[in-house]
Structure 1
């Protein structure tokens, strides 16, 4: 048996005789690791230490088979900048494909989830189309999806079994001159056109009443007819959300930042804010857009808060921190789609255009106003109501209908 530190000697007889070289002998005393003498000639007469015909790079090519028997170079190709660029390009293409598949499946899911319950095609006696696009955004007091504990915590009153009424109404106009968000106070004194109430089947003649009564009498369809009848503006799309959906969306996007210029404490809504800026969660956000008793102008002050908050919410929803974060995007989309009621002609792209229009207002590309008002508390057979300023209102409605620049400037 050959030993690593032995060389072969034939001697004079021609017989191979192992011959030990005069090399130091090392013993292991337990204090250091044993080692081999690197100066000894490796076995097989090879300087590499891997025996005849072998090297650290692997077996040599045999002589007589097209090679000289020299050491073979590594068969692994060198990585060049071009090969690295190809790998990066393949990774980018794969990522884009994954994003497209994800986006496509998300689009299909969201499109199916939309509650397209309002049929604008069934509404009769409508006004002609104008220029631009008009959206009616309605916040209802529906408590569907809220537990008794949540109803108490949110200070909404009522129960989940109660019907829904309009708590806020905003007419949003988009066109060549930007976006205009115009709030319509729920207590506006208007004419409700002739209609048949679905609950009783009885016919009713045109009559004066508060604007939110139209929703109670005939749902979204009668509300749309009433607004068209009193403004001359045709509603192209409808979107409605209840209390639960509103709270869930705000929570899903991580809250919305709002600043107030004074301390606000309202027992009815449960709002308790100090002067300054706050990140409002769903509970406080709902209280913020509902409270009106701490506003000097009541409904008008509340309407401004609602517009300001909706624009901020739309801005937050499309920020990279939400739009590119699946942990926030999907819960926000799910929360919104579960409780959002839209018209049958509302597509996801149209809904996205609505959010973009609301967002643009906060970027200075539009106006936020209330319908012109002459009195906040006229006495009527239905209690105190808000009276519109007919002259200024008609001029404003005509500008929106013809998609002209809005000249009305609300006094605050």
Structure 2
């Protein structure tokens, strides 16, 4: 959506009318609980772009069996996983935009559910919400799907915010069919492979060198991971070069000035793309009118260990502190050891509330924080809740993040208008585990796994950043 919006103002009449028709026909989801800002107060708009492993369209209608067969989608495993996650960072001043990939198997804190692979966050939030709605007596399948999907997206957004330290301003997701239709609508995308490859799982069958792909081929290109030298990490790079090629295709004109292509593109997006309710797409397009292909850069978060053994199977180990520092650096902010611009512990008063049935939990946690230099605030029991959270006043998220890190890094962080400035509120639910570590099986303080070859903090992927300026050959 961001890339399609870029050139809206560079063409006349017909494209503008089509864009208005697109906006009016988009599927909107109530997944971000804040008012739309013309220009985000933190200096940039952070957009979460999600590729869904979904067998339904944007309106919740099941895809026909013949369509699934054509897409080589395989058999659904009952889980609605998010197989592509990209955080798009767009500065208010029109500077270089950065698309940051988060590998689907990254092992992270999923607020309310503990440590899991990041691609399961949506499904976990959705299934928990669906069970709760059914217990409340909701029986209509469409309503169950709509409301539980929104909670799934909220869980995913909270997970990304906890990992990166960024506040998500907007959300957009696309399913398998949408990807197929959109690539066909623009006439394909040019990619380049270093060697030929064939994979029966994804349906990939490509020669070496440059080639233009669309539809089923394009879907196979971005989904293949078997037979690649680095598995899922190579798939992330595949997705980046494809999106760079997509941006180049749109930004080089020929799409928005062609009525037939534009109509096909608009129809494909309306059928398969979901965006957050309240996003003023047309206003956003005006803000981005100066963006060009070379101003879109694709990066990957720092990886500690790509073969990390966890209770959920092999995963990708990441260090939340390194990730937040890396993202802060890309955002033009000064990285720091734990959190961005957090006051000293002696300047933060921490109120701790026990919402679980564990006796004395609030007192124990409060004592551990005081031992680390924080000022003791109120210690009490509170209304039961399912997920633990650390809250700070508006604009003081860094303080909450510092306290969450002091507790081991496994708790969601958010801002709340109900918290007094200078205070941090800790709400402890049954999911709270006093592990003293930032990841299951990881050393406290974000250390590296034994034998792992970590990326340097702030450096991210060892490869050169990919841009939409030219075609990069990949594995």
Q: Does the TM-score normalized on the shorter chain lie above 0.5?
A: yes
Q: Is the 8 A contact 2:322 2:458 kept in 1?
A: no
Worse-superposed segment, 267-276 or 288-297: 288-297
Shift of 1:350: 5.6
For structure 1, the residue ranges without an aligned partner over 5 or more in a row are: 1-98, 195-205
> Is 1:371 matched up with 2:301?
yes
Shift of 1:315: 2.3
Shift of 1:317: 2.6
Partner residue of 1:190?
108
Q: What does residue range 23-172 of structure 1 map to in structure 2 within 5 Å?
A: 100=13, 102-103=14-15, 105-121=17-33, 130-145=42-57, 146-158=63-75, 164-172=80-88
> Is 1:254 matched up with 2:187?
yes
Residue 124 (structure 2) aligned to one of 212, 217, 224? 217
Q: Secondary structure at the match of 1:293?
A: coil
Q: Is the 8 A contact 1:142 1:162 kept in 2?
A: no
Partner residue of 2:266?
333
Partner residue of 2:459?
408
Partner residue of 1:42?
none
Q: Secondary structure at the match of 2:323?
A: helix
Shift of 1:397: 2.6
Q: Secondary structure at the match of 2:255?
A: helix
Query: 2-side partners of 1:292 and 1:239: how far apart?
Result: 24
Deviations 1:94-135 (A, max 9, x none): xxxxx53x4554243212111111330179xxxx96331111
Residue 114 (structure 2) aligned to one of 188, 197, 207? 207
Q: Is the 8 A contact 2:71 2:176 kept in 1?
A: no
The TM-score normalised by the length of structure 1 is: 0.65
Residue 384 (structure 1) aligned to one of 314, 337, 341? 314
Partner residue of 1:44?
none
Query: 2-side partners of 1:235 and 1:139: how far apart?
Result: 16
For structure 2, the residue ranges without an aligned partner over 5 or more in a row are: 1-11, 58-62, 126-151, 336-456, 464-475
Q: 1:129 to 1:169 in 2, by over 3 A?
A: farther
Structure ID, larger Rg: 1
Residue 294 (structure 1) aligned to one of 211, 227, 246? 227
Q: Is the 8 A contact 1:300 1:370 kept in 2?
A: no
Q: 1:174 to 1:349 in 2, by over 3 A?
A: same
Query: 1-side partners of 2:229 and 2:165: how far apart?
Result: 30
> Is 1:282 matched up with 2:215?
yes
Q: Is the 8 A contact 2:108 2:118 kept in 1?
A: yes
Aligned length: 295
Q: Secondary structure at the match of 1:323?
A: coil
Q: Secondary structure at the match of 2:304?
A: strand
Asked which structure has the greater RCO (Cα within 8 Å, sep 6+), the reply is 2
Deviations 1:296-354 (A, max 9, x none): 22121111111111121122134332111111111111101221000113223366479
Q: 1:353 to 1:307 in 2, by over 3 A?
A: farther
